[in-house]
Amino acid sequence: MAINYDVLMGLKTSGQEFSYGDRETMLYALGIGFGRDPMDEKELPFVYEKNLKTVPTLATVISWGAGAIGDSGINYAMVVHGEQKLKLYKPLPVAAQIVTDSRVVGAWDKGEGKGAIIVTETNINEKKSGDKLCTLTSTIFARGDGGFGGPREGAPQPHALPEREPDMSVDAETLPGQALLYRLSGDRNPLHSDPEFAKAVGFPKPILHGLCTYGTCCRAIISKALDYDPTQITGFDVRFSAPVFPGDTITVDLWKDKGVISFRARVKDRDAVVINNGKCTLKG
């Protein structure tokens, strides 16, 4: 079934309810690499319920499964995650009951054989207070769905990195078993855990979740540029550009300007840029 543009643009869900607790908050932090040294007093608050802190990118997993494009005609076997954006209206609580509303906000046709770009938006509110917590904007690249007749122009443009050399670079290690831990936060796609499945779709072994790499970049920025204060972050946007394999060391290049930290992530061993056009927005 091909994409019908009018049907796609009308897809939405509302009032979906989820909940998470301190267990999920700590598990997520462990999954993106916090707590490797249990004696590190600056990292311990992310993985221990005493004075627990939330990582802003936790927002991407607290309503796992929410969304608006399930019945869209997309060939999901050919879909990759293209971009992820996060806007925070307040720091995430360490535990909450939440309500989500999701909708498709844009679709662009790159042409027959060239794929399609589809953008969805999910707003997350705290159920008890009604406060708006955050907005997630996710872009997928549907490689098998070009030529459906949608608009060709007007797709969102990525954040431009500064042209100067990075102000600092941070190495963030991942473990060989990283994906097996991270998947417990919601995404159990066998691409990240099953060697036979990974080989069947063209990879030599399971790859790390793109959103785990996303969270790992956030960990690097919190630890090296923000003195472990996650409440400074009000936005976190990236474009995914290449896979990471569990065990890779991710080098995060940072450019610090007023109110914004621009970044990209590389795996030096393979000379591969894995996240590009990163933008971490700071409060104030």
Please, are residues 221 and 238 in contact by the beta-carbon 8 Å criterion? no
- Catalytic site residue 271? no
Helices (H) and strands (E) in the chain, counts: 5, 10
Q: Which of 192, 209, 237, 253 is catalytic?
A: 192
pTM exceeds cut of 0.85:
yes
Note the pLDDT tens digit of each residue in 202-252.
Answer: 899 999 999 999 999 999 999 999 999 999 999 999 999 999 999 999 999
Whether 3 has a pLDDT exceeding 90, the answer reads no
Please, are residues 41 and 110 in contact by the beta-carbon 8 Å criterion? no
The predicted structure's pLDDT at residue 73? 74
- Looking at the structure, do residues 20 and 138 belong to the same domain, yes or no? yes
Mean pLDDT, rounded, for 113-135: 94
- Catalytic site residue 187? yes
Tokens read off for 123 = 């707003």
Note the pLDDT tens digit of each residue in 235-246.
Answer: 999 999 999 999
Distance between CA 257 and CA 101 in Å, rounded?
33
The predicted structure's pLDDT at residue 30? 98
Structural domain harbouring 81:
5-142
The CATH number for 278's domain is 3.10.129.10
The predicted structure's pLDDT at residue 90? 96
Packing angle of the helix pair 22-31, 210-224 (nearest 10 deg)? 90
- Looking at the structure, do residues 110 and 11 belong to the same domain, yes or no? yes
Nearest in space to 209 (alpha carbons), one of 249, 180, 230, 250:
180
147 found inside a domain: no
- Looking at the structure, do residues 11 and 136 belong to the same domain, yes or no? yes
155 found inside a domain: no
Q: Which of 187, 237, 248, 253 is catalytic?
A: 187
- Looking at the structure, do residues 178 and 120 belong to the same domain, yes or no? no
Note the pLDDT tens digit of each residue in 171-214.
Answer: 999 999 999 999 999 999 999 999 999 999 889 999 999 999 99
64 found inside a domain: yes
- Looking at the structure, do residues 108 and 185 belong to the same domain, yes or no? no
Confidence of residue 68 (pLDDT cuts 50, 70, 90): low
Total tally of structural domains belonging to the chain: 2
Whether 271 has a pLDDT exceeding 60, the answer reads yes
- Looking at the structure, do residues 70 and 191 belong to the same domain, yes or no? no
Note the pLDDT tens digit of each residue in 12-50.
Answer: 999 999 999 999 999 999 999 999 999 999 999 999 999
